[in-house]
Amino acid sequence: MIAQAGKLIKALTSRHANAIESYFTRNGFALIKAGRPGKHEADYFARDRNGLRYPVEEKRWAETCISTSAWWSYWRPKLDLDTNEIGNMPAPQRGWIAVVAGQLREWCQKGDVEKGYLAVEFPLLPLGIRNPRTSAAHLETALEYLETSGILQAWKADFSMDYSFYKITYSG
């Protein structure tokens, strides 16, 4: 039984990596696996033809269902934002603000680039299971807020298989 579970996890992990690699390859990037569990690093880097490396943060569906409050709790003290205003927003939206304005932005700054990517799994699920599009709406509302606040210069969403890819450009 444990061996079967291990094979299933390995197959799903491979499917996720293939979806992400396929997207970046189609868009002219080489994808480099980077993150090590527990080391607070970008999951991947997308290297362009000029050799620039852009951080890519992957968020899996299971993470988006349970971790948004933890993301906010961790990053809130480090954000240069009006956290009182953000505190009135829904928890998932605050979590996405933390990921974009904290986590991904930090990796972009460390890499001396103004652009980073989110690869977010939003699978198509049967009715009755928490709707992934609700989480996508929270993310996009968070991106709009950060753009209005001047943290982001621009963002663009693209969709492929069970993933949404967000190209995020930070203001100088």
pLDDT tens for 55-68 read 999 998 888 878 88
Whether 94 is in a domain gets the answer no
Measure Cα distances from 38 to 41, 43, 121 in Å: 8, 11, 20
β-strands 115-121, 163-170 pairing: antiparallel
Measure the CA–CA gap between 10 and 103, rounded to whole angstroms. Answer: 26
What's residue 11's pLDDT? 43
In a domain, 89, yes or no: no
Is pLDDT at 43 greater than 70 in this prediction? yes
12, two tokens:
């799903």
Is the four-CA dihedral 124, 125, 126, 131 of positive or negative sign? Answer: negative
- The verdict on residue 92 lying in a domain is no
Q: How many domains does the chain have?
A: 1
Q: How confident is the model at residue 155 (pLDDT cuts 50, 70, 90)?
A: very high
Q: Kindly state whether residue 74 falls inside one of the protein's structural domains.
A: no
Length in residues, the chain:
172
Q: Confirm whether 80 is domain-assigned.
A: no
Residue 13 belongs to domain spanning:
2-66+100-170
Tokens coding 109 = 């700054």
- pLDDT digits over 105-138, tens only? 999 999 999 999 999 988 765 554 555 556 788 8
